[in-house]
Amino acid sequence: MATTFPELDTRDLPVGAHAASIAAAIDGLSVGGSFILVAADDPRPLLGRLKADGHSGIEWSVLELGPERFRVEVRSRVGPRTVTDFLEGDHQRLDAILQQVARLSADGEDDEARERFAEFETGLGWHIDVEEEVLFPAFETNTGSTNGPTTFMRTEHVAIRQLLVACGAAVAGAGDVQRAIDELGKALAAHNLKEEQVLYPVSDHAVGGDAEREELVEKIQAF
Ligand SMILES: [Fe+2]
Ligand SMILES: [Fe+2]
């Protein structure tokens, strides 16, 4: 079962036509709509430029980051967002992919399960990196707390990354997939709940006003 989103593959287009074709796809998005952008090089800098250039109603998630191709899910977005909205939404997006991997693997669709797991791995890697490199430093600066929740979350990230590696090995054929997904899923559920109930809301509150909050969300999105 391949992804059902429409796809825009720029690899066969002349380089000079990339921006215009992506801009047209963005402008054609309905509310809540999305498409998968496929490219030979990382398309995120171009998406950032298009966004700054008036095609602003979008956000995106990485599905594949090279080396041979890049795939990014581009979605329409409405109104200002909070850190809680944005990253809780990413938790839900990743949970749904992991559940798909479990289903596909149970059905014996091993190739498809591996493809979806690769998307999960890329997405969770991005998610943890953006928390550690953008969100947690902002939290620490804005709250003055450098040895509290962020230290605890970083420690949990180390354990989650280890479970992710074990899960990848299982999906690749070297272990019990359902058990590995179950263990990773449990660790993520407990971790995500703490972030959603404490760290994200405090980040939203501590950053200052609406403009500062939107700026932080944009920084997270652009990472
Ligand atoms: Fe986290
Ligand atoms: Fe998170």
Domains and CATH numbers, the chain: 7-76 (3.30.110.40), 83-222 (1.20.120.520)
CA of 9 to the centre of ligand 1 (A): 32
What band does 220 get if pLDDT is binned at 50, 70 and 90?
A: very high
- The string of DSSP codes covering the chain is ----S-EEEGGGS-GGGHHHHHHHHHHTPPTT-EEEEEESS--HHHHHHHHHTT--SEEEEEEEE-SS-EEEEEEE--S---HHHHHHHHHHHHHHHHHHHHHHHHTT-HHHHHHHHHHHHHHHHHHHHHIIIIIHHHHHHHH--SSSHHHHHHHHHHHHHHHHHHHHHIIIIIS-HHHHHHHHHHHHHHHHHHIIIIIHHHHHHHT-SHHHHHHHHHHHHH-
Residue 4: what pLDDT?
A: 59
Q: Please give all residues whose CB falls under 5 A of ion ligand 1, grouped by chain where several chains appear.
A: 131
pLDDT tens for 139-184 read 999 999 988 999 999 999 999 999 999 999 999 998 899 999 999 9
CA of 52 to the centre of ligand 2 (A): 26
pLDDT tens for 15-28 read 889 999 999 999 99
CA of 191 to the centre of ligand 1 (A): 6
CA of 118 to the centre of ligand 1 (A): 19
Model's pTM, two decimal places?
Answer: 0.92
CA of 167 to the centre of ligand 1 (A): 18
pLDDT mean over 193-203? 97
